[in-house]
Amino acid sequence: MREVEIMQVDIDKPEDDSNSNSSSKKGGSSSGKKSGLLDKSQSASAKSISPDHVRKSSQSQMVSEVSTKLSLKGKSPPEKPPINKRNNKILKKSNTGIVSMKKGKGSKLQNGTEDASESWLGSPDLGPFLLKQARDLVSAGDNPQKALELALRAAKSYELCANEKPNLELVMCLHVTAAIFCSLGQYNEAIPLLEQSIEIPLIEEGQEHALAKFAGYMQLGDTYAMLGELENSITCYTTGLEVQKQVLGETDPRVGEICRYLAEAHVQALQFDEAQRLCQMALDIHRENGSSALLEEAADRRLMGLICETRGDHEAALEHLVLASMSMVANGQEAEVASVDCSIGDAYLSLSRYDEAVFAYQKALTAFKTTKGENHPAIGSVFVRLADLYNRTGKLRESKSYCENALRIYEKPTLGIPPEEIASGLTDVSAIYESMNDLDQAIKLLQKALKIYNDCPGQQSTIAGIEAQIGVMYYMLGNYSESYNSFKGAISKLRACGQRKSAFFGVALNQMGLACVQCYAIHEAVQLFEEAKSILEQELGPYHLDTLVVYSNLAGTYDASGRLDDAIEILEHVVQMREEKLGTATPEVYDEKKRLSELLKEAGRVRSRKARSLETLLDANPHSLNGEGIKV
């Protein structure tokens, strides 16, 4: 008994092999671990459908979810991934085991002397005992560093006992250890453990192995998402979805939940086409399962409403949101309906149906005050929406009043509110002040939001968006050096988090190029415009308005840097495309033709025109059509 007490007080003091074995047997029942593996879908999922997609959990929640929930039930967290990169960097098998990764962790006694033999770690009961100790420490919120040390030793013990055979208990231990690293903010340390955990299970060994592999992919995707690496995150989620489909089939409701989870990740990455496809897939699966999946269908419709609203299909968004609201009321989720009412109000506002929007907002406001109190940020979010509505209808006094009411809540939030929620509210209020042309106040609010986000993991893309918006406003104020610095920070963060191929990145490059022009950094501006051109051609097509603007800017910088022939070539291309799509009598075409004629006159040339038949003019350009016509 004395030896058992010594082991429980300080696991660092094994006196000899037999002592440690006897003590580990005391606390080490490993029964139920395999059944626990079947519940892990929720470790990789636990996600609500909010536009912010913020993932936050306490240390104890994170560890308990990982260690006890391995089923494919798969409710998701806040960010997500694709699958075609399985053989790329993400899934490299680590050549080093736990022992080599954490050199000597657990190999020293408490007095600092080296343990001559690690054979005591080979006891089959020691791993479960150490892991339980680690989980208990985390659950109590005590000494997370000690919990991490115990979890690493448990992983080493499991590894020694595995004898090079697939061991699902080792997989679970790696998941728990990675979760502790994440709870400490050490996400890069968690990634090698999760990559190792993915390599261990063999799908051909049965369902338990497949589910363990699925859980590893989902947890790895969450970890990448917290680092802001959305591309890697989406890759992991997509691979996890494919594994889940192999085990459960294409129409299982849990597959539908992961489809929705992955759709949310694509929304965060601004990949709305893929997000809509996956969300529709989830909706079809849950409808096929009938009454047993009504709440899941409502969640699908909420997300689909958000996607349709973002894409400008406000009527479809309204339809999905109303159906989701009705389903939630029918299933006793009245407390959640208020947030859907806010989204319904947004759709009405986009359709300029202002009276109906006010009614939806006021209904949500009443519900939030009843359920959350007067000073909850949810109340502030409704105030922001009402401020936006009255600003659009020209009632500036009412708009400012609602902005001030919202700021009073955001500046003194109630305890327990996630800081990201406050920062999001500040950015929303800033947008209204910007539309009122109060740029100084808008910048102050964005800078406050930036300070909050800088302390939150996984927010790099959000921070980049805020910095880019600050850069735009500094440019409008004529402060070009500050504008350049803001854009520079935004661009570097977007590159780091894998968004270098998005249309938003192309637009940000164009804006930074304009700031460079104003600072007389012409050569840097040329490089930025050229990169923006290649991205927007790929993402939006050569006929899109944003792409044509970059063409025009690039022509101007070529002219300024003495590359007259290049400037003429691009400007001729711009004029030709604008004439084809807008006609010859529009102001934009007139201005571009005037610029081109001046350049041609300077070069002693005349405009080259290609003979085009009427049939060619009427024929649809294959690069500009997407099945929906040309959008200008």
Q: What is the CATH number of domain 123-248?
A: 1.25.40.10
Domain 373-448 has CATH 1.20.120: no
Closest CA to 224 of 551, 554, 457: 457
> What pLDDT sits at residue 582?
57
Query: 3-class DSSP state for residue 108?
Result: strand
pLDDT band at 3 (very low <50, low <70, confident <90, very high): very low
Q: Is the dihedral of CA 247, 250, 252, 258 positive or negative?
A: positive
Instruction: Classify domain 251-369 at the CATH topology level.
Output: 1.25.40
Closest CA to 394 of 439, 354, 363: 354
Indicate the average pLDDT of the chain.
74
> What pLDDT sits at residue 204?
79
Higher pLDDT, 158 or 197: 197
pLDDT band at 286 (very low <50, low <70, confident <90, very high): confident
Q: Quick one: average pLDDT of 408-422?
A: 84
Domains 123-248 and 373-448 share a fold: yes
Say which range, 62-76, 213-227, 492-506, has the weakest mean pLDDT: 62-76
Percent of the chain clearing pLDDT 70 (strictly above): 70
Q: Quick one: average pLDDT of 397-419?
A: 87
pLDDT digits (tens, 9 = 90+) for 243-261: 888 888 888 888 989 999 9
pTM: 0.63
Distance CA 76, CA 79 (A): 9
Higher pLDDT, 305 or 39: 305
Residue 475 scores a pLDDT above 70: yes
Percent of the chain clearing pLDDT 90 (strictly above): 27
Contacts of 201 (CB under 8 A, 6+ apart): 166, 168, 171, 208, 209, 210, 212, 213, 216
- Chain-centroid distance of CA 362 in Å reads 30
Distance CA 512, CA 535 (A): 15
Longest CA span, the chain: 100
pLDDT digits (tens, 9 = 90+) for 543-592: 788 888 888 888 888 888 888 888 778 777 777 776 666 555 556 665 66
Q: CB of 393 within 8 A of CB of 354? A: yes
> What pLDDT sits at residue 431?
93
Higher pLDDT, 359 or 418: 359
- Chain-centroid distance of CA 544 in Å reads 27
In the chain, where are the structural domains located? 123-248, 251-369, 373-448
Q: What are phi and psi of 9, to 5 degrees?
A: -70, -45
Distance CA 116, CA 290 (A): 62
Q: Quick one: average pLDDT of 457-461?
A: 74
Residue 287 scores a pLDDT above 90: no
What does the DSSP 8-state code read for residue 69? -
Q: 48-62, 138-152, 356-370 — which one is most confidently predicted on average?
A: 356-370
> What pLDDT sits at residue 442?
93
